[in-house]
């Protein structure tokens, strides 16, 4: 494929994906220093996942809003209903009362690779209409702290992501959404982050199964261990998760899990990503506990950690 063919193929991919990308405009009521209550407007992005009006975006795009509007790719503006929000995953599902929309294809974020070309599509800085930036996946499995939030298992990209891009899709060269871009990290310079699309699928699964998102948690923040790290620190394993934080008073804290511990198995299965640990915890809801195999120094042991459930309203 020559450069012209490559350019044309990118144009076609982006043009098709843009048919599923929307602009989200919000209004929230805030206290004004001089005049009391006053409307504050915000803007973000989203993408259509069902022809009957269901749209995914970031939670922080719609959080606290009294009114949410969706600007469709056709330019039509429709007031939207916020169906569900999950501040822990920074995801929201909104719906507009219309049909025959063009949903984007959801990919498989477990199959993405560092160096893969991606496109971030959204409405940056409140500018009308969708725009696109191109870059590569520069890292996966990132754990990042923002204002009052910690997000795990993020995709890192050098595709430019600005305020207003939040909630738009990160698209691969097959035209599939593999992530939800987020501009919630204020100190990012030259890099952006996206929530993996498989996290979105799990969010939608929870809504389908329980009627609303729920959070099953044990109270640890983790990051993957690479083979290079394992060699550098002479670890007795080549894959696993290192505990980078433990919530005080959480089930993990109560059973003695500490920062620096290495989690290598959950319910008897090897784990190497925060998503695998999260899925093991969520699969253990009915059982009530998740069994973890842990390495601490030269010691290897198993512990049953109670699973705490939080319903998000």
Catalytic residue among 166, 272, 273, 284: 166
Whether 50 is a known active-site residue: answer no
What are the angstrom distances between the C-alpha of 277 and each of 75, 152, 199?
42, 11, 12
Q: In angstroms, rounded to a whole number, what is the distance separating the alpha carbons of residues 88 and 76?
A: 31
Check the CA dihedral 216-180-198-266 and report its sign.
negative
CA angle 195, 187, 230 (to 5 degrees): 65
3-state helix, strand, coil split of the chain in percent (to 5) is: 20, 45, 35
Output the DSSP codes for 20-81: TEEEEEEEEEEEETTTEEEEEEEEEEEEEEETTTEEEE-HHHHTT-SEEEEE-TTS-EEEEE
Catalytic residue among 86, 90, 153, 261: 90
Q: In angstroms, rounded to a whole number, what is the distance separating the alpha carbons of residues 288 and 305?
A: 9
Catalytic residue among 20, 25, 45, 60: 60
Q: In angstroms, rounded to a whole number, what is the distance separating the alpha carbons of residues 289 and 105?
A: 35
Whether 253 is a known active-site residue: answer no
Provide the token pair at 1.
């494929």
Q: In angstroms, rounded to a whole number, what is the distance separating the alpha carbons of residues 41 and 62?
A: 11
**Exposed (0-12), middle (13-18) or buried (19+): which is 251, by Cβ within 10 Å?**
buried
Catalytic residues: 60, 90, 166
């Amino acid at each position: 494929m020559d450069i012209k063919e490559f350019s044309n193929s990118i144009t076609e991919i982006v043009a098709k994906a843009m048919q599923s990308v929307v602009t989200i405009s919000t209004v929230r009521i805030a206290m004004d220093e001089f005049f009391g209550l006053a409307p504050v407007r915000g803007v973000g992005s989203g993408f259509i996942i069902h022809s009957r009006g269901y749209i995914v975006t970031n939670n922080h795009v719609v959080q606290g809003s009294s009114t949410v509007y969706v600007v469709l790719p056709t330019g039509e503006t429709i007031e939207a209903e916020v169906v569900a929000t999950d501040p822990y995953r920074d995801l929201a599902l909104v719906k507009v009362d219309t049909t025959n929309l063009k949903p984007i294809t959801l990919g498989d974020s477990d199959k993405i690779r560092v160096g893969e070309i991606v496109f971030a599509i959204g409405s940056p800085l409140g500018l009308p209409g969708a725009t696109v930036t191109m870059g590569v996946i520069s890292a996966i499995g990132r754990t990042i702290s923002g204002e009052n939030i910690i997000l795990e298992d993020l995709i890192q990209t050098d595709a430019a992501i600005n305020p207003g891009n939040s909630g738009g899709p990160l698209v691969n060269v097959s035209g599939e959404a593999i992530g939800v871009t987020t501009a919630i990290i204020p100190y990012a310079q030259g890099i952006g982050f996206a929530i993996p699309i498989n996290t979105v699928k799990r969010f939608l699964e929870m809504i389908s199964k329980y009627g609303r998102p729920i959070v099953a948690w044990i109270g640890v923040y983790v990051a993957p261990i690479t083979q290079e790290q394992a060699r550098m620190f002479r670890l007795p394993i080549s894959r696993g998760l290192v505990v980078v934080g433990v919530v005080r008073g959480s089930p993990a804290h109560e059973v003695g899990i500490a920062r620096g511990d290495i989690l290598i198995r959950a319910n008897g299965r090897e784990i190497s990503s925060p998503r695998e640990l999260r899925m093991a915890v969520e699969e253990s809801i009915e059982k009530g506990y998740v069994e973890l195999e842990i390495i601490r120094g030269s010691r290897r042991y198993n512990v049953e950690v109670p699973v705490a459930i939080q319903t998000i309203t």
